[in-house]
Amino acid sequence: MIVSVTLNPCIDKTVYLDRLTVGEYNRVRSTRTDVCGKGVNMSIVLSHFGIPTCCTGFNFKENGRLLEKVLEREGIPYDFVTADGEIRTNIKLFDRSCRDMTEINEAGPLVPPQTVEALLEKVEELLEQCSILVLSGSIPPGVPTDIYGTLIRMAHRKNVKTVLDAAGEPFLLGLKEKPCLIKPNDFELAQAFPGETKAGKTPLEIARNIVRDGVPYVCVSMGGDGALFVDESHAYQARPLPIEVKGLTGAGDSMVAGMCCALHKGLDAREMLRYACAAAAGSVRLEGTLLASLSDLEELLPQVEITPL
pLDDT digits (tens, 9 = 90+) for 258-297: 999 999 999 999 999 999 999 999 988 876 567 889 999 9
Confidence of residue 247 (pLDDT cuts 50, 70, 90): low
**Mean pLDDT, rounded, for 12-31:** 91
* pLDDT confidence of residue 284: 83
pLDDT interval class at 12 (50, 70, 90): confident
- The predicted pLDDT at position 307 comes to 96
Give the helix ranges, DSSP H, for 49-164. Answer: 65-74, 113-126, 147-157
| Low-confidence winner among 93-102, 139-148, 250-259 (lowest mean pLDDT) | 93-102
- Considering only CA atoms, which of 283, 300, 294, 295 is closest in space to residue 34? 283
Phi, psi dihedral angles at 4 (to 5 degrees): -105, 145
What band does 100 get if pLDDT is binned at 50, 70 and 90? confident
Please state the φ and ψ torsions of residue 178, each to the nearest 5 degrees. Answer: 60, 65
pLDDT tens profile 179-208? 999 999 999 999 999 999 999 999 999 999
Predicted local distance difference test score (pLDDT) of residue 70:
95
pLDDT of residue 290: 73
- pLDDT value at residue 94: 87
Write the class of the CATH domain 2-7+36-78+109-308.
alpha beta
* Domain layout of the chain by residue ranges: 2-7+36-78+109-308
CA angle 217/220/225 to nearest 5° reads 140
What is the dihedral sign for C-alpha 139, 140, 141, 144? Answer: negative
- 250 pLDDT band (50/70/90 cuts)? confident
Q: Is residue 170 pLDDT above 80, yes or no?
A: yes
Residue 124's pLDDT is 97
- How is 251-274 classified by DSSP, letter by letter? HHHHHHHHHHHHHHTT--HHHHHH
Q: Report how far residue 116's alpha carbon sits from residue 50's, in angstroms, rounded to the nearest whole number.
A: 31
Q: What is the mean pLDDT of residues 19-46?
A: 92
Average pLDDT, the chain: 94
